[in-house]
Structure 1
Amino acid sequence: MMIHGFKSSKQDFTFGPWKVTAAKTHIMKSADVEKLAEEMHMPCLPEMMFGDNILRLQHDSGFGIEFNAIDALKCVNKQQGMLKVACAEEWQESRSESEHSKEILKPYDWTYTTDYKGTLIGDTLKFNVVPTTERIDTEKLKAREQIVFFEEVLLFEDELHDHGVSSLSVKIRVMPSSFFLLLRFFLRVDNVLIRMNDTRLYYDTQKNFMLREYTSKESKISSLRNVPPPLFTEPNEIAQFLSPRETIYEKLEFPELLDSAPATMQESSSIQPQES
């Protein structure tokens, strides 16, 4: 849990042709949150909405990827799927005495579950996203290498009327030879379920692409009877006990930077990306 009484900060860190920008500021004012909720056609937004917080990775030539709360909330199911309705009813039954229980059945996903994987940025050049069989080398990440930059940015958090937590945060560590980023959506609805959507982004400075892995896991509390309850509040600890639901493996290929290359070559390379 982050301490919410922090001072605003904006850090820029440059390594090679890349610049990491991490901006952390205060919770959005309620008037701004209400206006944003209206624009997004949602009855309400998370209690702690850090709309101006951002983590951005940008190449000298303009392309890159950033992580922000507003784009993440655009990926929330506005109409609320069947699973969520069932979950809400289960939640309502377990909290029938709660004054807020009726609110849960509003037609939106009150858990703010998002499958957001970042926002690609760039005016003329952007990453080319393709499926891949390559995987992030987790063993290499375990190697002791100097961390030259580290930052964690909270994008939103909601305590679900004191009956759980829904949060989205992103952290990055930069080493001399690579960087590793983790965007994590974590949901715990007390007595009902735990859900975790992780996006991992890895870049080796010797390569002309990044690897992006998205994994969604979820388990009902009733199926976690053998897990010590204190772990329910520790995302890093509970992750291994959750059931995998979805995995997406992608390669974020750098756009063709050579202006001298014929346009036809650039077009064909974007249709049939070269495997490294």
Structure 2
Amino acid sequence: MNMMSHGFKSSKQDFTFGPWKVTTATTHIMKSKDIEHLAEEMHMPALPEMLFGDNVLRILHSDSFGIEFNAIDALKRVNNMEDSVKVACAQEWQESRADSEHSKEVVKRYDWTYTTDYRGTLIGDALQIKVTPTTERIDLEKLKAREQIMFFEEVLLFEDELHDHGVSMISVKIRVMPTSFFILMRFFLRVDGVLIRINDTRIYHEASKNYMLREFSTRESKISTLQHVPPSLYTDPNEIAQYLPLKLTQCEKLEFPEKVAEMEGGDDVQ
């Protein structure tokens, strides 16, 4: 059956495995009046052209704790007081937008690249995941093993073409295997002629363990130092990532809360 590919098809999926329930929702972009309202609330002169405010990827434990990924929380981690791509870039940006009389003021006022170091939103009222730094790393070799993929979904949170000067986007995908799940959220920024930046958040959980591992990394390069790389790769995050120097890695253990019942002395109860 040939589905029409244009337009946004709303879809909501739930997938349950063990004590976990994965929910993904993908729907249309936010209406412009809602975007304007949100921009005001967030003290930002503008928000991404394509903002999927109702899109979400959520992983919820039967004890009502978990983690989710959504666009609004991702935007809250954008530094709205300063421009993170410093002067050289701002200069080029202003020249390229000479037609817009307020561009100078805007460049000063916010990070127009929407760079975010968002790593997900912890959820849970009574019980919450505890985050601690760790030296333990995600075993990427294990992830390469050809395990059956029981569920896969990708959710776009926002995208902006930076007035035809590149792209800024963030999306999150999950794959669930019989004994584990893996999440990759990727922020990808390309400012044409200036720089490429990738912020990745990887989350891995093995069913036998009472925690997830979360690794956050930033890779970045000026375009001028990527002369040896074919420009056709600049638009493909998967291809260009390996050419971008690693600037930062942070590894965390996301430990699951103990059940309240266990505090009542029932430690050995199976």
Query: Is the TM value for this pair above 0.5?
Result: yes
- Aligned ranges 1:145-164 → 2 under 5 Å: 145-164=147-166
Among candidates 126, 129, 132, match of residue 127 of structure 1? 129
Where does residue 206 of structure 2 map in the other structure? 204
Q: Is it true that 1:107 corresponds to 2:109 in the alignment?
A: yes
Distance in structure 2 (CA, Å) of the matches to 1:100 and 1:187: 25
- Aligned ranges 1:224-239 → 2 under 5 Å: 224-239=226-241
CA deviation after TM superposition for structure 1 residue 82, in Å = 6.0
Where does residue 268 of structure 2 map in the other structure? none
- Aligned CA RMSD, in angstroms, stands at 1.9
CA deviation after TM superposition for structure 1 residue 260, in Å = 3.5
Where does residue 22 of structure 1 map in the other structure? 24
CA deviation after TM superposition for structure 1 residue 145, in Å = 0.6
Cα deviation code 1:164-213 (max 9, x no counterpart): 00001000000001111000000000000000000000000011100000
CA deviation after TM superposition for structure 1 residue 146, in Å = 0.5
Distance in structure 1 (CA, Å) of the matches to 2:87 and 2:149: 44
Where does residue 182 of structure 2 map in the other structure? 180
Distance in structure 2 (CA, Å) of the matches to 1:100 and 1:153: 36
1:91 counterpart SS class: helix
Cα deviation code 1:104-136 (max 9, x no counterpart): 524000000000000000001000000111100
Distance in structure 2 (CA, Å) of the matches to 1:209 and 1:181: 14
Structure 2: runs of 5+ lacking an equivalent: 266-270
Q: Is it true that 1:64 corresponds to 2:73 in the alignment?
A: no
Residue pair 1:166, 1:188 contacting (<8 A) in 2 also: yes
Among candidates 41, 45, 70, match of residue 39 of structure 1? 41
Cα–Cα, structure 1 residues 253 and 92, in superposed 2: closer, same or farther, change >3 Å? Answer: same
CA deviation after TM superposition for structure 1 residue 97, in Å = 5.7
Cα–Cα, structure 1 residues 32 and 189, in superposed 2: closer, same or farther, change >3 Å? Answer: same
Cα–Cα, structure 1 residues 239 and 98, in superposed 2: closer, same or farther, change >3 Å? Answer: farther
Where does residue 257 of structure 1 map in the other structure? 259
Where does residue 118 of structure 2 map in the other structure? 116
1:194 counterpart SS class: strand
The AA in structure 1 aligned to 2:237 is P
Distance in structure 2 (CA, Å) of the matches to 1:86 and 1:54: 36
Runs of 4+ in 1 over 2 A off after TM superposition: 81-87, 90-93, 95-104
Distance in structure 1 (CA, Å) of the matches to 2:66 and 2:130: 11
CA deviation after TM superposition for structure 1 residue 259, in Å = 2.1
Distance in structure 2 (CA, Å) of the matches to 1:164 and 1:130: 36
The AA in structure 1 aligned to 2:231 is P
CA deviation after TM superposition for structure 1 residue 102, in Å = 2.5
Structure 1: runs of 5+ lacking an equivalent: 264-276
Where does residue 269 of structure 1 map in the other structure? none
Cα–Cα, structure 1 residues 257 and 85, in superposed 2: closer, same or farther, change >3 Å? Answer: farther
Residue pair 2:48, 2:159 contacting (<8 A) in 1 also: yes
1:154 counterpart SS class: strand
Distance in structure 1 (CA, Å) of the matches to 2:6 and 2:60: 27
Residue pair 1:179, 1:202 contacting (<8 A) in 2 also: yes
The AA in structure 2 aligned to 1:23 is A
Where does residue 89 of structure 1 map in the other structure? 91
TM-score by structure 1 length?
A: 0.90
Residue pair 1:91, 1:192 contacting (<8 A) in 2 also: no
Among candidates 43, 50, 53, match of residue 55 of structure 2? 53
* Number of residue pairs matched by the alignment: 261
